[in-house]
Copies of this chain bind each other. A is one copy, B any other.
Amino acid sequence: MIENLVTTTDASTTDAGTTDSVPVRAIDRRRAQTRREILEAAWELCREHGLAGLSLRELGERVGMRAPSLYSYFDSKDAIYDAMFAEGQRALRDRYLQVTAALGDVPVRGLLRSGARTFFEFCVADPVRYQLMFQRTLPTFEPSAESYALAVENLAILATTLERAGVTDPRHVDLFTAVATGLTDQQISNDPGGDRWARLLDDAVELLCDHFGLPY
């Protein structure tokens, strides 16, 4: 899923050489592949032991290497969290763009409905990712400037979608995001695996659209 999610914040942009470029690029590809494997294992471990329960020993073991070898791929543990954060933001962006591209001239309420549902399902699908991306729970970790920029980009996409739908009042924007995250949060915290709040999503969006005075 999400095949072309590269996750290389540093491995690209240096493949301009022409001579010997084939083996070099093969090595880069291998390296990027290993980074992906490490991150995939990191996600697994975080789902098993909680976000803060990630250990480099166990992570190394999971990908078939010793903990110190991980430092060939990431500068620190927080750098791994940062790559995961960025990966999550990219995945959300791809999901947003994919959905908004599929909908051509859908009515504005449908736009907001599917926007809210896209966010909701993305978050519910992986609570640990949600925790990393949207909640301040790891005291030491703070996203890098590059990763933070991805988060800002996603907020911009959201704002654009709302604007396309005719929601321009900042208070309305904030209310919309609050309702969406509230339903999401309750679903994750109080009915994991269920649909108790998911079933309220469309009604909530409709209610907000009425309040905003949007056309049907």
Contact = CB atoms under 8 A, between A and B. Distances in A.
Interface in A41-73: 49-53
Given A134-B189, A180-B182, A181-B186, A207 B200 contact: no
A200 B181 CA distance: 15
Contact of A182 (B49, B51, B182): B182
Nearest to A192: B136
Interface stretch (A94-102, A142-150, A170-178): A170-178
B200 A186 contact: no
A208 B210 CA distance: 12
Contact of A50 (B127, B137, B186): B137
Given A131-B137, A137-B137, A139-B53, A183 B182 contact: yes
Interface in A154-200: 171, 174-175, 177-183, 185-186, 189, 196-197, 199-200
Number of copies: 2
A33 B87 CA distance: 48
A79 interface: no
B178 A186 contact: yes
A178 B207 contact: no
A210 to B, nearest CB: 8
A135 interface: yes
B189 A183 contact: no
A175 B187 CA distance: 11
A200 B171 contact: yes
Contacts of A52: 52, 137, 139
Contacts of A178: 179, 182-183, 185-186, 197, 200, 204
